[in-house]
Chain A
Amino acid sequence: MSGNISVRYELQRSDFSLDVGVDIPMRGITGVFGESGAGKTALLRCIAGLERRASGRLVIAEEIWQDEAISRPVHEREIGYVFQEPRLFAHLNVRQNIEYGQRRGRREDVGFDEAVELLGLRHLLERSVDTLSGGEAQRVAIARALLRSPRVVLMDEPIASLDRARRDEILPFLDRLHAVLSIPVIYVSHSIDEVIRLCDYLLVMERGRIVASGKTQDVLLRTDLPMLGGEEAGAIIHAKALVHDPEDGLTKIAFDGIEMWVPGAYDTGARLRLRIRANDVTISRENPGPSTVLNVLPASIESIDADGESSELVRLAIGSEYILARITRRSRAQLDLRPGEPVLAQIKSVAVKNAPATGR
């Protein structure tokens, strides 16, 4: 698929206004991140045509769905909407629920068997929907949306209402969708963890406006967005596994000619996604000598931004990649750190995940 999803919408409510204009890639998963009340759901509802009072313009890969003159009704917009609650039809069984959209579709990009396999629903097909667990119900809702053969899938916090265990049960299915299907997904979430795990692109919303957009790893490095800060502030780096050391349970990986050790066993050549939190990175001027920190990498300071009462976020360039480090203002003064200077970045811990097969 080519082209963009071009979205421009205005919506006025008594206590809230939405005013957005953004182009979303017609591939991969685009996260919409923000606190509750930021307008994430309103944006999805506008795209779906469920907000009648919204005015704007919506173009999906050169096809105009809405502008001043026309507005396609909801059922003529080829979208797959996965709501926060499963919204299954209680009078139909699992199979009939899944087939509801398929029967009304014009195309069949995703086959019944493919969707059922992808979401592991084969053994549930003849079940009544009120016998399903929360996670199962949401998987049925996802399959139902996919079988409508949508041009774009809209997911509104599909796992937010589930408990931790159910969430972990569904996430691998979302990873698989991402790897196997070429349908673009717009994924609303208020969890930075989810966004980091799933999304290739990221929109950040605040009070009905989009305050940042771009590739996930680029947006995450923005030190001027307070909502991305906090405990979870950090960077994502794409790397390749080089060699596994079974004795210590570590794998040597490389990105952009720079090597480091990460925990876990990965096949040589495997594509990895590293997540390095700002809280796990410290900075020193000189080599600290023998240390428990495995990875000490040469870096240069890109920028330093205030981050709360006593701390600052430092953006470090390592090769062509960037990571964030959170340091105290006092340390910055003592070491007299300034942008452009070479330093050493000590990385205390790294979270590693196999990168999706497609998406970049």
Chain B
Amino acid sequence: MVPTLGPLLLSLQLAALTTLVLVVLGTPLAWWLSRTHSRLKPAIQAVVALPIVLPPTVMGFYLLIVLGPYGAIGRWWVEVTGEALTFSFTGLVIASCFYSLPFAVQPLQSAFDALGTQEVEAARTLGASELDAFFTIAVPLSVPGFLTAMVLSFAHTLGEFGVVLMVGGNIPGETRVVSIAIYDHVESLDYASAHQMSIILVVFAFVVLLAMFLANRRLERRSR
């Protein structure tokens, strides 16, 4: 039982951290996309949606180049920290953020689109600054959107394989996440271990999604 826990915990850590970063960075991006009339909007929406369409290996290949010690971000990172981004946990978090970006931004943008301008305008006329109105009106009224964004980013990061393989490799305790570990076990014909990890993931995923849909149903009822 003990050897299964390491990769699982690493996966949970990676997914939690990625979700946190995506909510912090994805929220302003989604808000901007929802409010702007800029001509750049379709182009930026397309870029955000790319990871849905591209094979993970393509994403992973380019991320490997950019994050590698000779890539734009990778070289800068080496200069600042003295460590390489590729084949490290930090590198995995950055790669996962790109990979799961649409799963955070799209539900948030739909929630902000559905919210419209009415309540926020009313709050502004009642003396709330833009930031104040955003946090006291827009965010609480978009809770289901935030919930969906968080669950989807978390689940999507948990399940990533191709990107991790390209950028992170298979270093126990550093980049050996659960999907890689399962693949390893199957490769070495250790079906028992693969079963153990897989069933934990299946149950976990089901419970999280069930919790989300139940919560959303309650929220919808309350706002009716």
Binding site for B on A (CB under 8 A): 48, 50, 73-75, 77-81, 83, 85, 87, 89-91, 100-101, 104-105, 130, 144-145, 148
Pick the residue among A50, A73, A77, A87 that contacts B119 (CB under 8 A): A87
- How far apart sit A74 and B223, CA to CA, in the bound complex (Å)? 28
Known: A90-B141, A91-B140, A91-B141. A83 touches B128 (CB 8 A): no
From B118, B129, B132, B223, contact of A83 by CB (8 A):
B118
A105 to B128, CA, bound (A): 9
CA distance A113 to B128 in the complex (A): 22
Q: Are A50 and B121 interface neighbours, CB within 8 A?
A: yes
Is B122 a contact partner of A105 (Cβ separation < 8 A)? Answer: no
Give the distance in Å from the alpha carbon of A85 to the alpha carbon of B129 in the complex. 22
| Chain A proximity mask over B108-127: 1 for CB below 8 Å, otherwise 0 | 00000000001101111111
A60 and B119 CA atoms in complex are apart in Å by 26
State the Cβ distance, B122 to closest chain A Cβ, in Å: 4
Contact assessment for A148 and B122 in the assembled complex, using a CB-CB cutoff below 8 Å: no
**Contact residues in B for A105 (Cβ distance below 8 Å):** 127
A104 touches B137 (CB 8 A): no
Does A104 contact B127, Cβ atoms closer than 8 Å?
yes
Contact B126 A100 (CB under 8 A): yes
Question: Given the complex, which residues of A lie within 8 Å of B128, measured CB to CB?
Answer: 75, 100, 104
- Docked pose: A75 CA to B141 CA in angstroms: 20
Chain B residues, Cβ within 8 Å of A85: 118
Please tell me if the beta carbons of A130 and B223 are within 8 angstroms of each other in the complex. Answer: yes
Query: Bound state CA distance, A101 and B126, in angstroms?
Result: 5
Residues in A neighbouring B224, C-beta threshold 8 A: 130
Asked if A79 and B223 sit within 8 Å, CB to CB, the answer is no
Q: Are B125 and A79 in contact (CB under 8 A)?
A: yes
List 5 A-B residue pairs with CB atoms under 8 Å apart, sorted by A's residue number: A87-B118, A87-B121, A89-B122, A91-B143, A148-B126
> Which residues from chain B contact A50 at a C-beta distance below 8 Å?
121, 124-125
Please indicate which of the listed interface residues A74, A81, A83 has the most CB atoms of chain B within 10 Å of its own CB: A74
User: Which 5 residue pairs across A and B have the least CB separation, nearest first?
Assistant: A104-B127, A101-B126, A81-B125, A87-B122, A74-B124
Residue of B nearest to A105 (CB): B127
Bound CA span A220–B179, Å: 78
* B127-A83 in contact (CB<8A): no
Q: How far is the CB of B32 from chain A (nearest CB, A)?
A: 16
Nearest CB on B from A127, distance (A): 14
Shortest B36–chain A CB gap in Å is 13
Taking a contact as CB atoms closer than 8 A, the residue among B119, B125, B143 that contacts A74 in the complex is B125
> Is the CB–CB distance between B122 and A83 below 8 Å?
yes
A75 is contacted by which of B118, B124, B140, B143 (Cβ under 8 Å)?
B124
A333 to B136 Cα, complex, angstroms: 68
Bound form: Cα–Cα A90–B137 in Å: 9
- Provide the residues of chain B in CB contact with A130, threshold 8 Å: 223-224
B86 to chain A, nearest CB (A): 44
Residue of B nearest to A103 (CB): B127
**Interchain CB contact under 8 A, B141 and A89:** yes
**Which residues on the A side are within 8 Å of B121 (C-beta)?**
50, 74, 83, 87
Residue of A73, A90, A91, A144 near B126 (CB, 8 A) is A144
Known: A87-B118, A91-B140. A75 touches B223 (CB 8 A): no
Which of B125, B136, B224 has the most C-beta atoms of chain A within 10 angstroms of its own C-beta? B125
Among residues of A, the one whose C-beta sits closest to the C-beta of B125 is A81
Q: Using an 8 Å CB-CB cutoff, how does the interface string of B128-146 with A read, 1 for contact, 0 for none?
A: 1110110011001101000
Given known contacts A74-B125, A75-B129, A78-B127, what 17 new A-B pairs fall within 8 Å (CB)? A48-B125, A50-B124, A75-B124, A75-B126, A75-B127, A75-B128, A77-B125, A80-B125, A81-B122, A81-B125, A100-B126, A100-B128, A100-B136, A105-B127, A145-B125, A145-B126, A148-B125
Contact yes or no, B141 A104, CB < 8 A: no
